[in-house]
A = this chain, B = another copy of it.
Amino acid sequence: MSKPQKQLHLTAFMRPVSLHTGAWRYPGSYPDANFNLAHLTTFIQKLEAAKFDAFFMADHLAVLNMPLDALKRSHTVTSFEPFTLLSALSVVTTKIGLAATASTTYDEPYHVARRFASLDHLSAGRAAWNIVTTGNPESARNFGAAAHMEHADRYARAREFYDVVTGLWDSFADDAFVRDQASGTYFDPGKMHVLDHRGESLSVKGPLNIARPVQGWPVIIQAGQSEPGRQLAAETAEAVFCSPRDIGAAKALYADIKGRAEAAGRSRENIKILPAAFIVLGDTLEDAQQKRLRLDSLVHYDSAIASLSVQLGSDASGFDPDAPLPREIPDTNASKTGRAGVIKLAEEEGLTVRQLAQRLGGYGGLAFVGTPAAVAEEMGEWLAEGAADGFTVVFPFLPQGLDDVVERLVPELRRRGLFREEYVGSTLREHLGLPRPRNQFFE
């Protein structure tokens, strides 16, 4: 018997209207989805019918800091809070994983441990925690912190926060609750552990007032790509959500994180690398590209040119919008992180300044644009070449972009043996092929 083919894992990285800033204006979109549970119910049920691993709710802890004139065009300013939303969606689904973001900088480990444990019990083992350290300085001002915590401090606190949360999840042995009505013993006190953590950043006594989660621990997700971010992921994450610009960068990142995980004493199999992929499908490559151009054209030029200026490290507002990018771009003191990539993108796709600006202002990350067959083929290459264990799918617009993926791409992946036909297990850990952690305090 031949070894079963390796398959992709697929999670959906969601904002109710889409992550693309122009998506709410796309024909057929649901601009009111931010507070419309019926729409979100439809989305998650379609993703579950397609056997996606998880529904992953993106999040912010502030209204993003941008000039009012750009802010007023943004549908990403407001939406449901992730825990309340995912708890509601847990009731209308039975298999798909439910991933929520929670900050280690502006929350308390007792609260975070408790909410994820509760979501895991409500959903019978489908919760995942996306650990974020919250880089947005606007958030600090919503939590009484005048200055944003330094990058290194945030990562040190995050590491300790993870130890406390996982320690709290292990407060009770899996079999602690005997509920013996005759003797009157509700739980075995020898199977309750008081954490009594006193560390650099945190002091938490415990025990947690929740039974051990169904999955032992909810699945741990992380997105960090900085040096401390990669190290934190290697030590703690079970799914990594990253944004490499192409397959070459992805392979390097994949090898680096898996290597670091091994160096930390973990199995390479227990950390899944799932790059974020913006997927636009069409009947032909041109059709898909036209959809994307149309979507990008819905990003207001003022917002778009601001994004381009940031990435070029130069004020682009004086450039001719309908001409190619000028050959000579003046230097400024601002960051030029993305300049080379931006110039390459403009050349490769023959974009005007306007189109380039709208691309960056809409969704600037890794994209797969083409026919379902071509995209399925490419995703298979990423898997085969060790660039990814699957993808964190970003839909360009909803509902059509989601329908395209589940109705057209998923069947192409299945034809190639690259994606499951049915769920095998019932917990998110089982979908992802991750082991259930042993309780660190009890056999």
Instruction: Identify the A interface with B (CB < 8 A).
Output: 24-25, 31-32, 34-35, 37, 60-63, 68-69, 71-75, 77-81, 83-85, 87-88, 90-92, 106-108, 110-111, 114-115, 117-119, 121-122, 138, 141-144, 146, 172, 177, 179, 181, 184-189, 192, 202-211, 298, 300
Chain B residue, CB-CB nearest to A121: B35
With beta carbons under 8 angstroms apart, the residue of B32, B181, B189, B209 that contacts A31 is B181
When chains A and B are docked, how far (Å) is the Cα of A173 from the Cα of B151?
A: 36
Q: Which of A88, A202, A204 has the most CB of B within 10 A?
A: A88
With beta carbons under 8 angstroms apart, the residue of B71, B81, B142 that contacts A204 is B142
Contact B110 A142 (CB under 8 A): yes
Question: How close is A159's CB to chain B, nearest CB, in angstroms?
Answer: 16
Contact A84 B83 (CB under 8 A): yes
Contact A80 B121 (CB under 8 A): yes
When chains A and B are docked, how far (Å) is the Cα of A177 from the Cα of B108?
A: 32
| Given the contacts A107-B111, A142-B206, A204-B142, A118 and B80 also touching, CB distance less than 8 Å | yes
Can you list 22 pairs linking A and B with CB atoms under 8 Å apart? A24-B179, A25-B181, A63-B206, A63-B207, A68-B189, A71-B189, A72-B185, A72-B189, A79-B209, A79-B210, A80-B118, A80-B122, A81-B114, A81-B117, A83-B115, A84-B119, A84-B122, A85-B87, A85-B118, A88-B90, A88-B91, A108-B143
When chains A and B are docked, how far (Å) is the Cα of A63 from the Cα of B192?
A: 11
| Nearest 6 A/B pairs, CB to CB | A87-B87, A81-B118, A141-B205, A84-B118, A84-B87, A31-B179
When chains A and B are docked, how far (Å) is the Cα of A72 from the Cα of B181?
A: 12
When chains A and B are docked, how far (Å) is the Cα of A210 from the Cα of B172?
A: 36
| Given the contacts A83-B84, A143-B108, A186 and B72 also touching, CB distance less than 8 Å | yes
| Given the contacts A88-B122, A91-B88, A81 and B184 also touching, CB distance less than 8 Å | no
Q: In the complex, which residues of chain B have a beta carbon less than 8 angstroms from the beta carbon of A121?
A: 35, 37, 80
Contact A60 B186 (CB under 8 A): no
Question: How close is A185's CB to chain B, nearest CB, in angstroms?
Answer: 6
Contact B110 A61 (CB under 8 A): yes
Contact A115 B84 (CB under 8 A): yes
Contact A204 B143 (CB under 8 A): yes
When chains A and B are docked, how far (Å) is the Cα of A34 from the Cα of B79?
A: 30
| Given the contacts A90-B88, A110-B143, A143-B110, A211 and B300 also touching, CB distance less than 8 Å | no
Q: Which of A35, A142, A185 has the most CB of B within 10 A?
A: A142
When chains A and B are docked, how far (Å) is the Cα of A32 from the Cα of B178?
A: 10
Q: In the complex, which residues of chain B have a beta carbon less than 8 angstroms from the beta carbon of A204?
A: 141-144
Q: In the complex, which residues of chain B have a beta carbon less than 8 angstroms from the beta carbon of A77?
A: 186-187, 209
Q: Which of A115, A187, A189, A209 has the most CB of B within 10 A?
A: A209
Contact B24 A73 (CB under 8 A): no
Q: In the complex, which residues of chain B have a beta carbon less than 8 angstroms from the beta carbon of A146?
A: 203
Q: In the complex, which residues of chain B have a beta carbon less than 8 angstroms from the beta carbon of A88?
A: 87-88, 90-91, 122
When chains A and B are docked, how far (Å) is the Cα of A70 from the Cα of B60?
A: 43
When chains A and B are docked, how far (Å) is the Cα of A184 from the Cα of B21?
A: 11
Contact A83 B72 (CB under 8 A): no
| Given the contacts A142-B206, A204-B142, A87 and B78 also touching, CB distance less than 8 Å | no
Contact A210 B81 (CB under 8 A): yes
Chain B residue, CB-CB nearest to A61: B110
When chains A and B are docked, how far (Å) is the Cα of A116 from the Cα of B282?
A: 41
Contact B25 A184 (CB under 8 A): yes
Contact B115 A81 (CB under 8 A): yes
Q: In the complex, which residues of chain B have a beta carbon less than 8 angstroms from the beta carbon of A142?
A: 110, 204-206
Q: In the complex, which residues of chain B have a beta carbon less than 8 angstroms from the beta carbon of A83?
A: 83-84, 87, 115
Contact A75 B207 (CB under 8 A): no
Chain B residue, CB-CB nearest to A146: B203
Q: In the complex, which residues of chain B have a beta carbon less than 8 angstroms from the beta carbon of A143?
A: 108, 110, 204
